[in-house]
Structure 1
Amino acid sequence: MASTSASRDRYTLYGAPGSGATPVHAALTLIGAQVDAVDVATWEGESERARMSGVNPMRQVPALVLPSGEVMTESAAILIWLGDRYPEAGLCPAPGDPKRARYLRWMVYLSAAIYSLYWVRDDPDRLVPDPAAQPAMLERSAERIAHCWHLMDTQIDEPAPYLLGEKLGMLDLYVTVMSRWTPQRRRFYRVAPRMAPVVRCVDADPRLADFWAARFPFTTDPGAP
């Protein structure tokens, strides 16, 4: 249940449905804070990126305007900050918790090793101006993403039933959303079989049913091939 302080807090979140703003919005939903969503799909072209220039100089989403008026960017940083800001929601290990190091490790791993690759995948011209070379880049980056998922799956503790124990948390939200991106769930289930039950569990969480339906519908689960 949301705390009284959380229910009074109001945030403005920039980022289109299915984007890196989605795990942030899901977290705010579980926290019980008020969210004004501003849909901006920066991967759709220059005009969309220009809309973000006054909010985030990187012209990327997500960007979160805090109740104080300060702007936060970088999805992992936002999720970590929200988890610490609302400890009563139980979405992350507290400082001093033995699981805190693992939590921080994997949150930053997801951002650095996997999420960062979508900057070039979303607009291959950024680093690969030759159209003839872009299919190879897209194929190799998809291979790299799948490899990184596999490495995480082999190193993370056995889910019980979530990635850090018995409660759904920020790490689960982050993995669940990103596992829907390229190379998509069918391959994710194959390369990360230990994490597969976790993302299915988060998909089906009744507290997020309305949120998923409105902001990131996911009606087809192909299962493992």
Structure 2
Amino acid sequence: MAEYTLYWGPKMGSAAVQAALIWADLPHQLVQVNFGNSEHKTAEYRAINPAGKIPALRLPDGTVLSESGAMMVYLSDLVPERGLLPGVTAAARAEALRWLFLFASEAYPAVLCAYHPENFVDGEAAKQSLLNQATATLDRLSDLFVQQALSKHKFALGDQLSMVDVYAVMLLSWHPALHDLCQRLPVIVGFYENVWADPRVHTAFTQHKLQQPPSL
């Protein structure tokens, strides 16, 4: 079987995609893109992903896919028997897509604003204000996730791990005040630990140097 190529970087959205590739048992190689040296802005990388974003996933036929959420859904649907996400006809499929789209549309941009405010505003006061707003957005989404998912189940969709959980923990690991969040919502600690405990996730998250499960 031809290989997939994942263009990745430490602490990047490629963490969840690598977990999906391992879970799906698809042959793949990893090509690191040095974000610190602005390698993602080079002509060579933009020829792969014109948006200059990490990650990018080259499929065996040469097609390049961007957006980590799209990659996870695509890989999940390639091997539905492996259970990365509920199948397209399953009732839980709608809930899974709802969380993935919510995370991608609100949480991911908030993380970008929190860590790179200089890309959006000028001046220290404006940067701090944007950080505060981004943190508030992540707190609101965490509250929603706890209320509508973790207060009822071990994982987002029930008692079985899915890529929704992997995506959620990746985003949680980037929260600017994760310790404070976990003190306020301690159920997140157990959830975080349960997701990290999966060996497929552990391999990908360790490779990407994501924050280990927090301790209170």
TM-score w.r.t. the length of structure 2 is 0.87
Displacement of 1:19: 0.6
Equivalent of 1:48 in 12, 36, 40: 40
Aligned residues: 215
1:153 matched to which residue of 2? 146
Superposition RMSD in Å: 2.3
Change over 3 Å in CA distance of 1:49–1:92 after alignment to 2: same
> Aligned letter for 2:192?
V
Other structure's SS at 1:155 match: helix
Q: Which moved more, 1:161-170 or 1:15-24?
A: 161-170
Matched, 1:88 2:81: yes
**Distance of 1:125 and 1:55 partners within structure 2:** 26
**Distance of 1:9 and 1:198 partners within structure 2:** 35
2:180 matched to which residue of 1? 187
Greater relative CO, 1 or 2 (CA 8 Å, sep 6+): 2
**Distance of 2:74 and 2:149 partners within structure 1:** 22
| Mapping for residues 19-168 of structure 1, pairs under 5 Å | 19-42=12-35, 44=36, 46-50=38-42, 52-156=45-149, 158-168=151-161
**Distance of 2:38 and 2:68 partners within structure 1:** 21
Structure 1: 4+ residue segments shifted above 4 A: 191-195, 217-220
Gaps of 5+ in 1: 1-7
Gaps of 5+ in 2: none
**Distance of 2:53 and 2:159 partners within structure 1:** 34
Change over 3 Å in CA distance of 1:101–1:193 after alignment to 2: farther
Show CA shifts across 1:161-198 (max 9, x none): 22212321110110111111022532342454444422
Equivalent of 2:170 in 169, 177, 188: 177
Change over 3 Å in CA distance of 1:76–1:139 after alignment to 2: same
**Distance of 1:90 and 1:171 partners within structure 2:** 11
**Distance of 1:146 and 1:157 partners within structure 2:** 15
> Aligned letter for 2:105?
A
TM-score w.r.t. the length of structure 1 is 0.84
**Distance of 1:13 and 1:184 partners within structure 2:** 29
Q: Does the 8 A contact of 2:192 with 2:213 survive in 1?
A: no
Displacement of 1:58: 1.4
Q: Which moved more, 1:106-115 or 1:213-222?
A: 213-222
Other structure's SS at 1:156 match: helix
Q: Does the 8 A contact of 1:63 with 1:74 survive in 2?
A: yes
Q: Does the 8 A contact of 1:147 with 1:191 survive in 2?
A: no
Show CA shifts across 1:54-84 (max 9, x none): 1222111111111111111111111111111
Change over 3 Å in CA distance of 1:168–1:220 after alignment to 2: closer
Q: Which moved more, 1:48-57 or 1:109-118?
A: 48-57
Other structure's SS at 2:173 match: coil
Amino-acid identity (%): 27
Q: Which moved more, 1:144-153 or 1:90-99?
A: 144-153
